[in-house]
Structure 1
Amino acid sequence: MSPDFWSPIRLSLEVASVASILVFGLALAAAGWMKGRTFAGKSALETLWMLPLVLPPSVVGFGLLVMLGRNSTVGQAIEWVFRQPLVFTWWAAVIAAVVVAFPLAYQTIKTGLESVDPDLEDAARSMGAGEIQLLWYISIPLAWRSMITGYTLGFARALGEFGATLMFAGNIPGKTQTLPTAIYIATESGDMMLATYWVAATVLVSFGLLSIVHWLKRRS
């Protein structure tokens, strides 16, 4: 196979790997912070976090362009600091993947943390444990299957992201062209054989990830 064949696969794995690590950290922090809290606007905040799960990816990508594009204040600040715009870069692909994968990972991890017996946490609190210690030494070890499932689903969602990535990061070969965008371009140009190979690679990786999730569910 030529380097052009492997480039989208490599880029997709790189983007999904970095994005899934960021998603896991953000989802764990958000779920740990939200667990057991009651405050005005909690439902609205969680609804906002879950929006990318139900919105069309192109809408998410447009929102990223508005908030982080060259015409936005944040985008101009980023361009001034790093001497280049964020849009249509490798990091733009990562950010798009993070945004669309976060809701799935957050919901999975939050469900796992909420399944931990509160009596155990109350007992640890009575012994002087703080909230971070509770999360690290009690909740995470007891909900480790949900942690792995959340990370795996986040990786799979990041790997398959198309619309937001195309809108925000573009389709630059060797730079931002991930597997979904490469498959789309190959199909549009009539190269069905190449598209089939890329589809097979995507299905193989996704099947392996989902197999891990199902295996964890059977063991829980």
Structure 2
Amino acid sequence: MFVQLNDWFPVFLSIRVALIAVTVVLITGLPLARLLSRLEFPGKDVLEALITLPMVLPPSVIGYGLLMIIGKNGLLGHTLAGLGLTLIFTWWAAVLASTVVAFPLMYQSAKGAFLSVDVNYEKAARTLGASEIRIFFTITLPLAWPGILAGVVLSFARAMGEFGATLMVAGNIPGQTQTIPLAIYFAVESGDDGTARTLVAIITVFSFLVIYWVNRWAKKQKF
């Protein structure tokens, strides 16, 4: 049994959700990781614990927390409802859930990458009159890029595979919010093993190709 044309929706939605989530965590996580990798201040450990908390919390807990925020009675959800907007049970809620669970992976990878950069290179550039922005884009970012790319890949994979929190805030609405993990689970539940096997094969091959490309790229950077 092959996946019908309409059944490809979970594949396209999962890729779209993962791409948007990775873009968000890259834009927000990169500067935050850079900042916290260089600064020391009281309460930093508490802040970093909060940032990485979604990485260890059960997905259902994350989903419940998001419900308290974007649900109809939540602070953000109530505000949006007053504007005639709804976030809960839309594919944007899936993006939010994927972003929350992927952010710690991006942050941790980027922070480790920035810490691995020899600060003497940055100091030398400053003595030559280079601005902080130029130092970041010409020295720090290129040296830290392999670690950052690893964070992007891990974040993308986590966003693609998100299930529990997505189910709670976006639901399983075919043709609207149904991502690959949700489609696989409910296909198995309904006894549609053919669709489940095909979707499993698609996401497995896609994930393999992404990892394979990253490994090949990393090897080329060494030479």
TM-score, normalised to structure 1's length? 0.93
Residue of structure 2 in register with 1:18 after alignment: 20
Aligned partner of 1:141: which letter?
P
Residue of structure 1 in register with 2:107 after alignment: 106
Do the aligned partners of 1:24 and 1:105 also contact (CA within 8 Å) in 2? yes
Cα separation, 2, equivalents of 1:130 and 1:31: 20
Alignment of 1:147-158 (within 5 A): 147-158=148-159
Do the aligned partners of 1:92 and 1:169 also contact (CA within 8 Å) in 2? yes
Aligned partner of 2:186: which letter?
I
Cα separation, 2, equivalents of 1:192 and 1:155: 26
Cα separation, 2, equivalents of 1:20 and 1:94: 10
Cα separation, 2, equivalents of 1:46 and 1:156: 22
Gaps of at least 5 residues in structure 2 are none
Could you say if the C-alpha distance between residues 205 and 39 of structure 1 is closer, same or farther in structure 2, counting changes exceeding 3 Å?
same
- How many residues end up aligned between the 2 structures? 219
- Identical columns (%): 47
Cα separation, 2, equivalents of 1:130 and 1:43: 29
Alpha-carbon shift at residue 89 of structure 1 (Å): 0.7
Aligned partner of 1:173: which letter?
P
Q: Deviations over 1:70-108 (max 9, x none)?
A: 111222122334x22211111100010000011111111
**Aligned alpha-carbon RMSD (Å):** 1.6
Pair 1:71 & 2:66 matched? no
Task: Identify which range, 129-138 or 187-196, moves more after superposition.
Answer: 129-138
Do the aligned partners of 1:156 and 1:209 also contact (CA within 8 Å) in 2? no
- Tell me which of 53, 58, 80 is aligned to 2:82: 80
Residue of structure 2 in register with 1:139 after alignment: 140
Secondary structure (helix, strand or coil) at the match of 1:139 reads: helix
Alignment of 1:50-69 (within 5 A): 50-69=52-71
Cα separation, 2, equivalents of 1:103 and 1:25: 13
